[in-house]
Amino acid sequence: MGHASSLFNGAGDQTLISRVSPTTQQREFLQASWNDLAEHLKVSLKAKHGYTISTWLQGSYKYGTLIKPVHSGEEYDVDLGVYFEWGKGTDIEPTADQLRRWVQQALIDYRGQCVEIRAVAEPPKERCSRASYQHQFHIDTPVYHLNTDTDKRRLACLTNGWEASDPKAFYKWFRDALTGGEREQVRRLIRYLKAWAAVSFDDIPDSRPSSIFLTVLATKAYSDIWFARLLGLPDDDALISIIRAIHGRLNRDRRVQNPATKEEENLNRMSDEAWVAFIPRLDTLLDVAERAADAADEGAAALIWSEAFSFLMPLPNVDEVELVDERTSRALMQLPDIDIAVYTGSGEQRRLVTNHRNQVAGVAKGSTLVFTITNPHIVPQFATIEWTVRNKGLDADSTSDLGHRRIGMQLLQVEEHAQYFGTHHMDCIIRVNGQVYAARRVPVTICDVQPKVPAPARPAYTRLSMKRRR
């Protein structure tokens, strides 16, 4: 049974769902941008080519499963389908290639009118064109023929002609699969899985599961655990259950049929090589889920989940974590102390400004911070040291920089830069054979200028002691 439900979807200001979900302001900005583009395409394409044009928002935004970009430089992905409507009475039907060229040119024309568009991808992608905006998002525009006699849709591909595809049918399947609170919970579960995929496949991007692949797997797995849901499941328990179900299903059969079509459409488009690399990551996720289910308390569960979610997973509001032997009630290792040296400038102009220990109550934006374990003799010989930056706040959100993690044996020192206003955390976690032995949370407050007066005394720390299960 999970213990970290409040960190997944609780009332605190830092939960996994709040860290990965767009803010209201971000959603409103995306909505205004795609509405403006949709209106332009409907008017301009009809005026130039004579066909009735409609648009349909599709993908994660439509399903309510959109997540933030989690790495600096990544973008929000919004899918806006463009539909050319005609029926049997049309004398000359345009080809798929013609429709794609028409939409591509309409986007190029729109770029000249919309200062927020920084580029239109050239050449376009096989299944869509792309307009990239200044504010870290892009809009993909797949192009369809909508048969007004049969209400059937087909996708216009750049080189492969027409492809059977009906995003509206898929949306209806997803909408009708569950109702009420259960639909909202499965939306959160899908976002958790997408967050895992976003941080777990940086080195093998071809093996990263697609959004629609995860959406189908999670929705079907959630529907299958109906008995466990009768009394209500917190998010972490529900996630553990669907990870088990997904792991079992994919090890039996890697095919994932599109549930909204009668035609054979496998949503698993990974190559054999990509699939071979994907399975060990899925095995690791299952191992994390099983260990989190067996964890003794919230702190232990959160630290285990952080193996899968990295810097996205919030930790309990404590300063120190130690592992205690249940037989002797003694900590297995002394807690690390962290010295933080603050520098300004760079190169030969770099100058030491001040030193802190275990917290930085105020540092100027742009400063360089060097974090060092001051008692390295306490670190077990074969331990790994994990330094995780967890950013939060509007500044970090605006650049899609929620954090990062570095791991290494005897990694006693790391260097970071103060980039975003607000209070963030550097978490130093020491593990032996994957087991957390101790952790130190270092809060770092970044402000306009270096404080000229001593910072007020910090409240007494809180320590979380975890029992070692044998």
According to the model, what pLDDT value does residue 90 have? Answer: 78
According to the model, what pLDDT value does residue 467 have? Answer: 63
Enclosing H/E stretch for 84 = strand 76-86
What does the pLDDT look like over 368-409, one tens digit per residue? 999 999 999 999 999 999 999 999 988 888 788 899 999 999
Residues 109 and 88: their CA atoms lie apart, in Å, by: 31
Helix 272-293 with 180-200: angle, nearest 10 deg: 120
A 10 A CB-CB count for 218 gives 26
Place of tokens 């103060």: 418
Strands (E), 12-74: 52-58
Residues 201 and 256: their CA atoms lie apart, in Å, by: 20
416 DSSP β-pair partners: 369
Please count the residues of the chain.
470
Evaluate whether 193 touches 250 at the Cβ level (below 8 Å): no
* CB proximity list for 227: less than 8 A, separation 6 or greater: none
Residues 222 and 276: their CA atoms lie apart, in Å, by: 25
Evaluate whether 45 touches 53 at the Cβ level (below 8 Å): yes
Distances (CA, A) of 200 to 142, 161, 204: 28, 34, 9
Evaluate whether 237 touches 1 at the Cβ level (below 8 Å): yes
Residues 426 and 461: their CA atoms lie apart, in Å, by: 16
Written as one letter, the residue type at 388 is T
Residues 271 and 266: their CA atoms lie apart, in Å, by: 12
Distances (CA, A) of 226 to 182, 259, 348, 449: 10, 19, 64, 55
The pTM of the whole model exceeds 0.95: no
Q: Which two tokens stand for residue 85?
A: 């409507």
User: DSSP of 164-226, one letter per residue?
Assistant: E--HHHHHHHHHHH--HHHHHHHHHHHHHHHHHHHHH-TT-GGGSPPHHHHHHHHHHHHHHTH
Local confidence pLDDT in tens for the 470 residues of the chain: 678 999 999 988 899 999 999 888 888 888 999 999 999 999 999 999 999 999 999 989 999 999 999 887 788 899 999 999 998 877 789 999 999 999 999 999 999 999 999 999 999 999 999 999 987 889 999 999 999 999 999 999 999 999 988 898 999 999 999 888 899 999 999 999 999 999 999 999 999 999 999 999 999 999 988 777 777 899 999 999 999 999 999 999 999 999 988 778 899 999 999 999 999 999 999 999 999 999 988 989 999 999 999 999 999 988 888 888 778 888 889 999 999 999 998 888 899 999 999 999 999 999 999 999 999 999 999 999 999 999 998 888 878 889 999 999 999 999 999 999 999 999 999 999 989 999 999 999 999 765 554 554 454 456 677 666 55
Q: Which two tokens stand for residue 332?
A: 């297995």
Place of tokens 């080809």: 95
> Cis ω on the peptide bond leading into residue 443 (within 30° of 0)?
no
Q: Which two tokens stand for residue 262?
A: 């009668």
With b for 16 or more beta-carbon neighbours within 10 A and e for fewer, the 195-212 pattern comes to bbbbbbbeeeeebbbebb
Residues 383 and 429: their CA atoms lie apart, in Å, by: 10
According to the model, what pLDDT value does residue 70 have? Answer: 86
